[in-house]
């Protein structure tokens, strides 16, 4: 058995701190707010919270409360699309979470599970979406809860970017068809310009300054939360098994986990480990990296990214 | 490459991981790495050959290896910096053509958590190495390994008879004769 309980608990604490702080930006009742300068992406956060909520009931209860109250600004289509690539345990946790929201609201989130016994806390409170971190909700309030708003969220994050519809899929999390359908009106409105490049259409903002002035205060950073949460879910899963692993198994599982999450680290630009996750030091290197990463993410520290 | 210490560590780690994942396998190991496990050679090897799996006491083909074993071996390989195929199905056709008589009673059984290895004995490795040396071009590692095993004349004679039973063709008889000469068996015709 491996003596890594303190390291695993520390990682879990940091990840919980991160979730609480992100929800606090959204208006959930909480003491800590450290992410005023980072854009919040509601659907990946909801899915991740459902997973955490299995053991963190207070966080789950406050997140449920927020979703019941502000769920009209959450995209059911995005939830469905994100669920498709979520790990099985996350899908199951979300279905119960969604069923509970459906039982207390008019929302129809994807679920075939039974709701848990729950009484809304009514503590969630949000005066407006003008805070920089709430850019995603603000754009939905203006452009509707549809692909168009999330396309603009991605464009606002990189105003000089020239992109195709396919380039947007990983961040917008709508189908390519939905994205194609949403790009046309943005071109017609003069927000985007389009030109053919080889066999594709390439889009870019017509006047970045004008759009940025219109949408209001933007956060300093737009983290790619989908791969970040997938990465953190894997870290948590391994940390949860740490006490059952002997030192050889821990070395292998750390190496395996890191290999699996490497694409998400690349995609999100998260900081990489100082030492390679191989050989006898694999477990300690993995734990040191995961602890530092989760601590920096929880603190809203830009050093969490490369 | 696998040296004796790294090979032992890789097997201990693999057995631990298999046990941790709630699965177990029994396999027959032959070839250079298994000779290393027996302490009969110490040259670095590329992989460990599994000629068969043991299922309910019987030998069955090891090709393909069970997915859970392949996945665990790949994970161990990654963690220890080994090649992804450090654990391989070996010449598994031997399950069809037949191991030397009494092979199963001579294996050395070693337990590594969820992995149990039936390691071919020195005597049987002489048979397998002679076959491999005949089957491959002169100067192969198999002929070197066979020399290191220092087989007696009787052992070589028995190995030659078994090898001929694997492929009785005249062409192979010629290759076998060359292999015997290569390992220093001077009165070859008495052996065949």
Q: What ipTM goes with this model? A: 0.84
* Residue where one domain finishes, among candidates A69, A95, A128: A128
Question: What does A61-109 look like in DSSP terms, one character per residue?
Answer: HHHHHHHHHHGGGS-HHHHHHHHHTS-HHHHHHHHHHHHHHHHTSS---
The DSSP bridge partners found for residue A248 are none
pLDDT band at A1 (very low <50, low <70, confident <90, very high): very low
In this structure, are A180 and A136 located in the same domain? yes
In this structure, are A104 and A119 located in the same domain? yes
pLDDT surpasses 60 at A2: no
In this structure, are A121 and A13 located in the same domain? yes
pLDDT for B33: 95
Could B79 and A244 be called an inter-chain contact, meaning their C-beta atoms sit closer than 8 Å?
no
Report chain B residues whose CB lies below 8 A from the CB of A286: none
Q: State pTM to two decimals.
A: 0.89
In this structure, are A144 and A207 located in the same domain? yes
Nearest CA in chain B to A242: B20
User: Considering the domain boundaries, does residue A222 fall inside one?
Assistant: no
* Residue where one domain finishes, among candidates A188, A215, A242: A215
In this structure, are A167 and A240 located in the same domain? no
In tens, the pLDDT along A261-287 reads 999 999 999 999 999 999 999 999 999
User: Considering the domain boundaries, does residue A10 fall inside one?
Assistant: yes
How far is residue A292's CA from residue A287's CA, in Å, rounded to a whole number?
8
pLDDT surpasses 70 at A107: yes
In this structure, are A20 and A114 located in the same domain? yes
Report chain A residues whose CB lies below 8 A from the CB of B77: none
How far is residue B179's CA from residue B132's CA, in Å, rounded to a whole number?
9
Residue pair A296/A304 in contact (Cβ under 8 Å)? The answer is yes
Q: Which of A102, A101, A100 is nearest to A115 (CA)?
A: A100
In this structure, are A260 and A234 located in the same domain? yes
In this structure, are A121 and A143 located in the same domain? no
In this structure, are A118 and A141 located in the same domain? no
Report chain A residues whose CB lies below 8 A from the CB of B13: 248-249, 251-252
Q: Which of A33, A39, A87 is nearest to A299 (CA)?
A: A33
Q: Of the candidates A244, A256, A279, which has its C-beta nearest B80's C-beta?
A: A279
User: Considering the domain boundaries, does residue A306 fall inside one?
Assistant: no
In this structure, are A121 and A161 located in the same domain? no
In this structure, are A296 and A201 located in the same domain? no
pLDDT for A53: 87
Average pLDDT, chain A: 95
Instruction: Scan residues 238-277 of A and list those with Cβ closer than 8 Å to B.
Output: 244-246, 248-249, 251-256, 259
User: Considering the domain boundaries, does residue A221 fall inside one?
Assistant: no
Whole-number percent of chain A with pLDDT over 70: 98
Could A279 and B76 be called an inter-chain contact, meaning their C-beta atoms sit closer than 8 Å?
no
User: Considering the domain boundaries, does residue A269 fall inside one?
Assistant: yes
How many structural domains compose chain A?
A: 3
Q: Which domain holds residue A251?
A: 227-300
* Residue where one domain finishes, among candidates A82, A111, A128: A128
Residue given tokens 């970045």 in the structure block: A208
Whole-number percent of chain A with pLDDT over 90: 92
User: Which residues of chain B fall below pLDDT 70?
Assistant: 186-192
In this structure, are A111 and A176 located in the same domain? no
pLDDT surpasses 90 at A5: no
């Amino acid at each position: 058995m491996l003596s890594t309980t303190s390291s695993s608990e520390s990682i879990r604490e940091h990840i919980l701190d991160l979730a609480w702080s992100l929800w606090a930006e959204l208006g959930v009742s909480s003491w800590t707010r450290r992410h005023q300068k980072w854009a919040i992406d509601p659907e990946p956060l909801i899915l991740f919270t459902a997973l955490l909520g299995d053991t963190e009931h207070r966080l789950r209860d406050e997140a449920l409360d927020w979703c019941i109250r502000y769920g009209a600004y959450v995209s059911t289509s995005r939830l469905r699309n994100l669920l498709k690539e979520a790990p099985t345990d996350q899908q199951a946790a979300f279905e119960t979470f969604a069923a509970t929201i459906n039982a207390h609201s008019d929302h129809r989130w994807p679920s075939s599970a039974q709701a848990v016994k729950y009484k809304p806390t009514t503590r969630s409170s949000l005066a407006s979406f003008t805070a920089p971190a709430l850019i995603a909700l603000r754009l939905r309030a203006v452009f509707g809860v549809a692909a168009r708003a999330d396309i603009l969220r991605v464009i606002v994050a990189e105003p000089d970017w020239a992109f195709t519809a396919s380039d947007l899929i990983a961040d917008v999390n709508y189908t390519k068809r939905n994205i194609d359908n949403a790009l046309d009106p943005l071109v017609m409105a003069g927000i985007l310009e389009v030109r053919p490049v080889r066999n594709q259409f390439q889009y870019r903002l017509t006047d970045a300054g004008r759009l940025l002035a219109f949408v209001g205060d933007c956060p300093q950073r737009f983290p790619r939360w989908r791969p970040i949460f997938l990465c953190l879910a894997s870290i948590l899963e391994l940390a949860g098994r740490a006490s059952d692993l002997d030192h050889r198994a821990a070395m292998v599982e750390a190496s395996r986990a890191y290999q699996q999450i490497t694409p998400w680290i690349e995609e999100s630009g998260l900081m990489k480990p100082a030492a390679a996750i191989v050989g006898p030091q694999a477990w300690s290197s993995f734990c040191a990296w995961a602890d530092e990463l989760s601590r920096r993410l929880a603190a809203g520290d830009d050093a969490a990214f490369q | 490459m696998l040296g004796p210490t790294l090979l032992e560590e890789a097997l201990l780690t693999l057995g631990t991981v298999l046990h941790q994942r709630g699965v177990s396998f029994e396999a027959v190991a032959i070839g250079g790495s298994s000779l290393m496990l027996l302490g009969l050679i110490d040259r670095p090897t590329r992989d460990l050959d599994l000629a068969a799996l043991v299922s309910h006491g019987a030998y069955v083909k090891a090709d393909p290896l069970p997915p859970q074993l392949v996945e665990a071996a790949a994970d161990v390989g990654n963690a220890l910096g080994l090649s992804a195929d450090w654990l391989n199905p070996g010449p598994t056709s031997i399950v069809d053509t037949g191991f030397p008589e009494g092979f199963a009673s001579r294996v050395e059984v070693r337990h590594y958590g969820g992995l149990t290895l039936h390691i071919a004995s020195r005597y049987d490795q002489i048979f397998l190495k002679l076959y491999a040396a005949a089957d491959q071009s002169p100067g192969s590692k198999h002929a070197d390994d066979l020399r290191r095993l220092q087989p007696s004349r009787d052992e070589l004679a028995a190995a030659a008879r078994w090898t001929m039973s694997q492929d009785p063709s005249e062409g192979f008889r010629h290759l076998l004769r060359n292999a015997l000469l290569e390992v220093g068996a001077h009165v070859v015709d008495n052996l065949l």
